[in-house]
Structure 1
Amino acid sequence: MVSQSSSVGYTIMGKTADLTVVQKRTIDTLHKEGKTQKVIAKEAVCSQSSVSKHINREAKGRKRCGRKKCTSNRDNRTLERIVKQNPFKNVGEILKEWTAAVVSASRTTTHRRMQDMGFSCPNPCVKPLLNNRQRQKRLDWTAADWSKVMFSDESKFCISFGYQGPRVWRKRGEAHNPRCLRSSVKFPQSMMVWGAMSSAGVGPLCFLRSKVNTAVYQDVLEHFMLPAADQLYGDADFIFQQDLAPAHSAKATSTWFKDHGIPVFNWPANSPDLNPIENLWGIVKRKMRYARPKNAEELKAIIRATWALITPEQCHRLTDSMPRHIVAVIQAKGDPTKY
């Protein structure tokens, strides 16, 4: 049976109900201001005894219940140091090294302690390995008129994705920490697709049937890049962006660009996080995550259909994000970023 009183609030079977979070905050605030318990009870809409009990409970503090932990703070610091030294170890390997330091704990306890420290175990982000020279070159960027840049790149698409490699122990905010990254491997065996975008939208796709050499790449430029430029820019000037793959940086390719009067962006090596089309590939692949193509032709059809759904507004937002990419690279001192 529930009854209500104008002075003491709700009671259940003759017992005062637990205070709500709002009531507790009200009591704490008014108590700090030096208000009397009678005034506090009226403002919090509860009994004066409830106010008194809450204030006394907060002043004394509740004694911690439950079994005492089997590991000390020193043991936990040792565990955190072990995880940080090699975050790619599994729980069994971490437990073995931890118990070697005269610590008695189970696998479950080890896992729980790492979770208490803020560690989770997702798949690691894959980023290209950068040397010091490449890192420094990535810092030499300033904000520019990115709408005049046509971004291009190749990306691989698989019918099914296989083993993703070992997971990595890391804390919140450490996804792009160099020690938590797994280096990517160039040119894996898969279907490669070439595409281009600008702030105005996307160009036509090119499915690459063979290894991209200088002749193949020039054919892509002739039959796909030039039509994309006409579609996205018309008669306006633009700058073409490409990475430093061998076929892209070959002398014959440079001559092709000079003969066609197309300026090429001076692009730093191993910098996919500076290229917004990488984010666009990610959007396409996320849209395809529930697709189950049975063969290469079905995969091509799904890629084309998904690519056609990309809107100019999406491309414009990605291009506008370039200043943030630059700021992130500068803050990371040239190391990989979240982009």
Structure 2
Amino acid sequence: MVSQFGSVGYTIMGKTADLTVVQKIIIDTLHKEGKPQTFIAKEAGCSQSAVSKHVNRKLSGRKKCGRKRCTTNRENRSLMRIVKQNPLKNLRELHKEWTEVGVKASRATTHRRVKEFGYSCRIPLVKPLLNHRQHQRCLTWAKEKKNWTVAQWSKVLFSDESKFCILFGNQGPRVWRKGGEAHSPSCLKSSVKFPQSVMIWGAMSSAGVGPLCFLKTKVTAPVYQEILEHFMLPSADQLFEDADFIFQQDLAAAHTAKSTKSWLNDHGVGVLDWPANSPDLNPIGNLWGIVKRNMRNKRPKNVDELKATVKETWASIPPQQCHKLITSMPRPIEAVIKAKGAPTNIYMYSK
């Protein structure tokens, strides 16, 4: 049957077919005009039940019918409170605590509800533990440095230590294999319990990077002063020449020892005040991450090859990259102020 709107109604196996876009427009138009459903069905070329379902679905806001949910909105909100109170709980613990209050739901349902809230299970980031006093100290420092210019930050020689392993991180090649080949020798990746590693001290400024120091022993105050003598001062001469500079270091015990302070004063080195446990603020931390990412496809076989690879990769860092990191200093400072002194996610790197 053809209506005045030019639509055709039809049935398939005695069952009304899905409405076309034109039919839906006709139904909506005539329904707004107050026409009865029998008249609308005749004009749209469909059954009256199809008209009724379309009108009722639109009024109720439902797009489709489906199985009734086994949990109520109130029960779902209680699960959300459980997740918010302790986000470190695993799915089994969440399900147990939720069902202990009388909610009848499976673990799969619990998982679906948590995902509906927008949560995903991820490995938590590791950040330094800061107490309230350290939060306030970091916030105060960030507010003091908020208006520093790029020219001021370019006068700072940033320093830090980082550990490099022959097998570091979870990066590396993947393997194509068939079912049952998981333990095949050609599909295995070798691992060692205690991989060989080196600890490195380095420094950088807006002008580039300085020479690396490979640490052989624990860094005590005397050892650190040797590092300052043979690596920090040459880095400053290389990057600043005769210009004044400010030295940045964290608050490790060897750095804040009285003998170290005396050494710095005797050599006329000004030290930048620095908040405790705040690696997110140090741009050299991001530079360590860049070096490690650039080394992912390299496979040193021993410590000597590892040192050579680190040296080569470090030396290949262009001054433009260092300058870019220095010009980004306002970003972590703004993030610290926004977080009220708490750890931020601006500099993401692996120590």
Please classify the TM superposition score into its range, dividing by the shorter chain length. Answer: 0.7 to 0.9
CA shift in 2, pair 1:57/1:329, >3 Å: same
Look up the match of 1:183.
none
Query: Which residue among 220, 226, 229 is the counterpart of 1:222?
Result: 229
Tell me the distance in 2 between the aligned counterparts of 1:292 and 1:94: 42
CA contact (8 A) 2:57 2:63 kept: no
What percentage of aligned pairs have identical amino acids? 64
Q: CA deviation at 1:296?
A: 2.1
Describe how 1:180-195 pairs up with structure 2 within 5 A.
Answer: 191-195=198-202
Tell me the distance in 1 between the aligned counterparts of 2:336 and 2:241: 32
Q: Which amino acid aligns with 1:131?
A: N
Q: CA deviation at 1:56?
A: 7.2
**Cα deviation per residue 1:185-215 (whole Å; 9 max; x = unaligned)?**
xxxx953111111111111111111100011
Q: Which amino acid aligns with 2:251?
A: L
Look up the match of 1:22.
none
Tell me the distance in 1 between the aligned counterparts of 2:343 and 2:215: 28
Tell me the distance in 1 between the aligned counterparts of 2:56 and 2:198: 66
**Cα deviation per residue 1:104-147 (whole Å; 9 max; x = unaligned)?**
22222211111111111111111111112211111223232101
Q: CA deviation at 1:326?
A: 1.5
Q: CA deviation at 1:162?
A: 7.2
CA shift in 2, pair 1:291/1:75, >3 Å: farther
Query: Which residue among 202, 209, 215 is the counterpart of 1:202?
Result: 209
SS of 1:157's partner is: strand
* Larger deviation, residues 226-235 vs 75-84: 75-84
Describe how 1:128-277 pairs up with structure 2 within 5 A.
Answer: 128-140=128-140, 141-142=144-145, 143-144=147-148, 145-161=152-168, 191-277=198-284
Look up the match of 2:343.
336
SS of 1:194's partner is: strand
Q: CA deviation at 1:62?
A: 4.5
Q: Which amino acid aligns with 2:81?
A: R
Q: CA deviation at 1:308?
A: 2.0
Q: How many residues align?
A: 275
SS of 2:271's partner is: coil
Query: Which residue among 309, 314, 319 is the counterpart of 2:326?
Result: 319
Look up the match of 2:101.
101
Look up the match of 2:64.
64
Q: Which amino acid aligns with 1:151?
A: F
Q: CA deviation at 1:254?
A: 0.9
SS of 2:270's partner is: coil
Q: CA deviation at 1:300?
A: 1.8
1:310 aligns with 2:317: yes
Length-normalised TM-score, structure 1: 0.73
Tell me the distance in 2 between the aligned counterparts of 1:230 and 1:162: 34
Look up the match of 2:83.
83
CA shift in 2, pair 1:111/1:291, >3 Å: farther
Larger-Rg structure = 2
Tell me the distance in 2 between the aligned counterparts of 1:223 and 1:217: 10
**Cα deviation per residue 1:206-246 (whole Å; 9 max; x = unaligned)?**
11111000111111111111111111111100000000101
CA contact (8 A) 2:197 2:303 kept: no
SS of 1:139's partner is: helix
Q: Which amino acid aligns with 2:252?
A: A
CA shift in 2, pair 1:99/1:215, >3 Å: same
Gaps of 5+ in 2: 1-5, 7-16, 30-43, 45-50, 171-195, 347-351
Root-mean-square deviation (Å): 3.1
Tell me the distance in 2 between the aligned counterparts of 1:101 and 1:288: 52
Look up the match of 1:295.
302
Gaps of 5+ in 1: 1-7, 9-14, 20-26, 32-48, 164-188
